[in-house]
Amino acid sequence: MTKQSVTDTAIFAGGCFWCMVEPFDTQPGIIRVESGYTGGHVPNPTYEQVCTEQTGHTEAVKITFDPSKISYAELVEIYWRQTDPTDAMGQFQDRGPSYRPVIFVKDENQRQIALASRTALANSGRFDEPIVTQIEPAKPFYLAEDYHQRFYRKQPARHELELSGGRHQFIAKHWQH
């Protein structure tokens, strides 16, 4: 009899989903990271629809992981280190509601972990501005078009250009010291 492996999921929004895949995809215990849209009111939105800012969706990543190898709390900590948690209306050069930072939680356990982590970050003194990242109940997650999936591998030069629009500098200033 083989032991069935247990998986869990996490959904994070932190600006352009292209920039949010690699930091998770490269961690032990990650089964897959998918780019998509969540939080809106239009079923099965396209990238073009989301870009109009009329669907209510946020670009996000859905992470399927093995909780025996990496915990949800560890994923939340990785998330913080990829975003500017003091900017409510976008991330770096990507502006507007579809790029807002959000931790989408699927249950009370995830909510408690995310809240505790956000409080700890707010109390850490790491940032001069308030932490404004929202914690919201998960809504349906719609996969983005195939060309968005694992973009960092498909288009490394363009991916690096996106990261250099302020994200790299912010991470270096606030997390790499």
| pLDDT reported for residue 55 | 95
Can you list the domains of the chain with their CATH numbers?
8-175 (3.30.1060.10)
CA atoms lying within 13 Å on the CB side of residue 155: 13
**Residue that the structure tokens 């850490």 belong to:** 124
Residues 52-100 have pLDDT tens digits of: 999 999 999 999 999 999 999 999 999 999 999 999 999 988 899 999 9
Please report, as a single letter, which amino acid is at residue 105: V
* Active-site annotation holds for 16: yes
Residues 93-147 have pLDDT tens digits of: 889 999 999 999 999 999 999 999 999 999 999 999 999 999 999 999 999 988 7
Q: Which of 10, 11, 13, 16 is catalytic?
A: 16
CA dist 103 and 133 (Å) reads: 7
- Residue range 165-175: mean pLDDT, rounded: 85
| pLDDT reported for residue 4 | 60
Threshold 0.85, pTM exceeds: yes
